[in-house]
Each structure stands twice: as structure tokens, then as C-alpha cells.
Structure 1
Amino acid sequence: MELTDDQIREGLDRLTDWELAPGTPAIRRTVRLPDFPAAIALVDQIAQAAEQAGHHPDIDIRYNTLHLSLCTHAVGALTDKDMALAARIDELVPTA
């Protein structure tokens, strides 16, 4: 079910560094890692979490920088699945 604007704001308040992507029904986050192997290792962890959730982010890899985007494409909007996977990704991102 599509989230309301209030639910989206509340969800973003609970997440780390996620924001609404302007002009799209998606949330996004950029993660910078020490190097390319670290970025790929995180992508692998995200892929495993996404498979378990049955919900998959869009991932753009630029050397040590990952651009992540979540939207429930079948609905064309944000849903609980997006917020849940974003929270799981937050758990996987190494802290400085």
C-alpha cells in the first residue's frame, strides 16, 4: 500500500541520510566507502538483504560511491517495503 506524505516523513526521520528524490516517487541515499572492494562488498550484502526481502534497490556504483534508490515500482510509489529495506541497508553500512 502506498505511503502517505506523513508516513514518508516519519519513515525518513527513522532512517540515516535517506531523502526524497526530487521528481520521483523514490527515496535515495549516497554512501561513500574507503575503496572499490569495500563498495562491492557492501553491494553484495545489500543484494543478499534485498533477496531475503523480495524487494530490490536501484544501485549505481561509482568506484567507492554507491547511489541507492528505493521505490516500489509495481505501485509507482513508496511503500513499507521501501522503508524496511532502507532500514536494513542502514544496518549494513559501516560507520566511520
Structure 2
Amino acid sequence: MSSEKLSPTAVTEQLTKLGDWRLSDGKLHLQLVFADFIAAFDFMSKVAVLAEAAGHHPEWSNVYNRVEIDLTTHDAGGITMKDFDLAEQINRVLAENTPDR
């Protein structure tokens, strides 16, 4: 997967394929609300395995049933296809474990 920073046009084009993801502070951003802490933590555990396998880790936070995720490729100085690939994998996890968005 390419680590080359994408142009703003390419980011906008790719973003249309990601559903609830949006741009925030130059990063791909997603806010989620789950039924409870256990559901949120279960989701994060599944994403952690995917991120580790990809060698690409999200910036994220969890407070009770809420999870916020930001994706960017720091060594490229912006959003790359690695971020979109991980976002798509996260969307697949969400399809299996739908939060209370």
C-alpha cells in the first residue's frame, strides 16, 4: 500500500466511498457510539489486531461507549492510501458489530 501523501482531490474522491468518515484537521475522522463500554472496547480490540497486522495505527480515544478515530500517515505528512485501506477495514468490522450511531 502506498505511503505517498494524496492530493486534496484524491482524498475527497476516496472519502466518498467511506460512509460516515469525514475530514477533520487534515485527518480521516470517525465518531462512534456503542451500546456500552464492553461493545466499544470489543470493537477497538478487533481494530487493534487489524492495525497491528497492517503496521498502521490509528489515533483514537475511548470514553465509556464512545470511540473517536483519526487516521493519517505521519511519515508522509498527511493522508495516504494506507489510511483509506485501514478505514475500509474498520468499516468491515463495523458492519459486523453495528454501533448505536
TM more than 0.5: yes
In the other structure, the counterpart of 1:16 is: 19
Partner of 2:16, secondary structure, is helix
**Residue 7 (structure 1) aligned with residue 5 (structure 2):** no
Q: How many residues align?
A: 94
Partner of 2:67, secondary structure, is strand
Aligned equivalents of 1:60 and 1:95: distance in 2?
A: 18
Partner of 2:76, secondary structure, is coil
In the other structure, the counterpart of 2:56 is: 55
Identity percentage of aligned residues: 34
In the other structure, the counterpart of 2:78 is: 77
Partner of 2:61, secondary structure, is strand
Once the 2 structures are TM-superposed, how far is the Cα of residue 28 of structure 1 from its aligned partner?
0.4
Give the ranges of 4+ consecutive aligned residues of structure 1 lying more than 2 Å apart after TM superposition: none
Partner of 1:59, secondary structure, is strand
Deviations 1:18-40 (A, max 9, x none): 1111xx32110001110000000
Q: TM-score, normalised by structure 2?
A: 0.88
Give structure 1 stretches of 5+ with no counterpart.
none
